[in-house]
Every structure is written in C-alpha cells, then in structure tokens.
Structure 1
C-alpha cells in the first residue's frame, strides 16, 4: 500500500500528480486546503485532515458534502494538520508515503514539515517530501544504492545529528571515504552522480538527503 498526502502549499510547486495515481492500492489524503487541490485535479482522497481554516465557507461545505472521510479539528490544537495526517498514515504501515504541498510557503511550516520526517525513523515506510524541484528524505545508518534521476541533477547530504561518521560516497563526482560530517557543515552539498548508479553509506548519525534541480 502507498499513501500520498497533499497539503495546501503553493500550488505551482506541486508536481503533476496523475503519474502517481495509477495504483489500485494507493490512498490519497488531503490536508486542509490540499483537499481542494486534489478535487480540482480529479483525484478523490479517501480521507481529509485539518481545521480547514484556510478555505472559504463554500469550499468547506463542498468538502464536507463529498464522500471524503473528513477528520476536522479545532484551530487551537497542539499538532499541525500535517502532523496529524502523517501520524495516521504511518499507523497504516504502508510501503511508501509521499508528501506534496509541504514546501515553499511559510518557512516555519516548511521547516516543521521537514522535521516531521523524523517520525518515520522507527517505521519501515519510505517517506519522501516532493515538489517540482526537490525530493527530501531522512536516512539512518546503513548502505544505500541510488540511481541517476533526470529530474534531479544534484544530491546533497545534510547532517541531522551532531555528527555523522563513516560517510562514504561511491559513484559521485565528489567521492568520500569514511568521512565525518558535522551538523552545519556544507561538505556534502551539491554533489552529483557520475555513473548510472552509486552508493552512499554511513556508520552513525542521521542524514537528510535532498535531491534537487535548478
């Protein structure tokens, strides 16, 4: 099972979702205004989460009168709409979770949405944030294979712990062998694959991988 979550970020940064809407075991979730974006693009979410304070009264009625299973919350709450939706999605034990509409708007929301990736640390789901220019994912120690993707020219690795040890990059323009990456260091920013595939590995710490294009 795969789950895609669409939030209400700037619509011009949300990629074409139709290529993702092909699997029969694919569940779509709308988060607040992201629910309207899905409906306007002829994708019908099974669930919607949010306080819906970013939609008009008419738009709210349209959502409530649909066949969507709506989970509405008060605006005054301890969790963001995105956090509530992601926690629900993780509990379904899907193979993959894709998050759209989570970047490019308010900076506090964008940074918080990226930090929400930490919730996937103890879950086997492949969780990624995607927009028209970036794909963001969080990784724990191990060895990973990565393939060239024409959509993303650059690959960056950012330390999300005080330090990352034993980082090794093979098949990259700027390889590394058992290096140490400190939090706040730009050592692994804007790298590129020189082969069709490569590997990255590290012994300890947490890494945020950002695949991007200009």
Structure 2
C-alpha cells in the first residue's frame, strides 16, 4: 500500500501528482492541501488539520465532501502534517509520500524534513519520502543500498543527519568515496551523479538524508 499526503505548501512547488496516482494508492489531504487535491480531480479518503488556512465557506465544502475528517484545534502539540503521518504509519504501508511539504515558511520545511525520521524512531518498515517539483528526499540508517540512475533527478546528495556518518562508500558515482567519515555540516557529498545504471552507497554508523534533485 502507498499513502500520498498533500499538505498546504505553495502549488508551484508541487510535481505532477498524476505521476504518483498508482492504482490502489490512498490520497490524504492536510489543511488547505485537501482543497488542492479536490481542485486537481483527486478524491481524498481522509483529511487532517485545524483548517486555519481556509475560509469558512471552504471549510464547509471540505466537511461536505470528505467522509473521514480529522479536525483539530490550532493549539496543539503536533503539526497537521505530523498528525496525518502518524495515522499513515499506523496503516503500515510500504511507502508514504509527502507533497506540499516544501516552499513557504522555513519552520514548516524543517519540521517536515525531520518527520522523515519517524519510521526510524518508531522502528517501522514504512519508507517516508518528501517530493516536490525538483527533489525527492528520504532517510537511511546505516547499511548498504542500491540507487537507480534516474536522469530526471540526476543529482544525488548525501547529508549527515547525525553528528557524524562513518564508513561512507560510494560506488558507481562520478565522485566515488571509500570508507569516509563525514561530519554533520559537511558539504563533501553534495551534487554527486551516477555514471552507471545502478550505484551503491553504504555506511557503518549514523543516519543519512539522501536527496535526488534536478535543476
């Protein structure tokens, strides 16, 4: 199962959502993202939020249209996106995609990026990705992984999330690495590229954010 969650980030940052509308996937709207989905012809199965970014008329439209609506007070401990993600993780899908999570306010951006850590914190097998028009972001704990060469997103960056990442090895890349120790804040692994169909990256300790990007 795949769950796609659309928040209320600026529309100009959104990719073509039809590319991610696989058969059987579940669409969830967060706050104003519910309206965005409806305007683009999607039928959200659930909606989450305090809906403080919509008008009263728009709120009534949402209430009439969405069967499963979770409305919260603006004064709460979690963001609307986190509440939606918490529900999604409880469904144990193989993949959760977050759209509308970038652009606009920086505090919301950083909060959404750190939500990528939730599956690791809760020890679930679900993968969470943030996707916008130019980027795909996800988190990996220590291990060995394969990456496909996707020309549409040719740049690949590796960003330490923990204080340091040990034993980072990149094979099949334009700029290979062998058993390198990467500190938090290092820009060494920004804007690499695959030179074969599939490359690998591995590391022995720490947490990495992987960002696939295009200009």
- TM exceeds 0.5? yes
Separation in 1, partners of 2:21, 2:153: 21
The superposition leaves residues 116-144 of structure 1 with CA deviations (integer Å, 9 ceiling, x where unpaired) of 11101121112100000000001001110
Separation in 2, partners of 1:193, 1:133: 17
| Aligned residue in 1 for 2:13 | 13
Q: Map of 1:9-48 to 2, 5 A cutoff?
A: 9-24=9-24, 26-48=25-47
Q: Map of 1:160-199 to 2, 5 A cutoff?
A: 160-199=161-200
Separation in 2, partners of 1:166, 1:135: 24
Contact 2:8 2:101 in 1 (8 A): yes
Shift of 1:161: 0.5
Q: Secondary structure at the match of 1:74?
A: coil
Shift of 1:23: 1.2
Gaps of 5+ in 2: none
The superposition leaves residues 106-165 of structure 1 with CA deviations (integer Å, 9 ceiling, x where unpaired) of 000001100011101121112100000000001001110001112212100010001000
Gaps of 5+ in 1: none
Shift of 1:105: 1.2
Separation in 2, partners of 1:31, 1:144: 32
Separation in 1, partners of 2:170, 2:197: 14
| Aligned residue in 2 for 1:143 | 144
Separation in 1, partners of 2:143, 2:191: 21
Q: Which segments of structure 1 move beyond 6 Å, counting only runs of 4 or more?
A: none
Separation in 2, partners of 1:158, 1:22: 30
Decide which moves more: 104-113 or 61-70: 61-70
Aligned length: 213
| Aligned residue in 2 for 1:95 | 94
Given the two structures, how large is their TM-score scaled by the length of structure 2? 0.97
Q: Secondary structure at the match of 1:151?
A: helix
The superposition leaves residues 48-72 of structure 1 with CA deviations (integer Å, 9 ceiling, x where unpaired) of 0000000011110000011431100
Decide which moves more: 158-167 or 62-71: 62-71
Q: Secondary structure at the match of 2:206?
A: coil
Q: Over aligned residues, Cα RMSD in angstroms?
A: 0.8
Shift of 1:197: 1.1
Given the two structures, how large is their TM-score scaled by the length of structure 1? 0.98
| Aligned residue in 2 for 1:126 | 127
Separation in 1, partners of 2:148, 2:66: 39
| Aligned residue in 2 for 1:74 | 73
Q: Secondary structure at the match of 1:65?
A: helix
Separation in 2, partners of 1:201, 1:161: 15
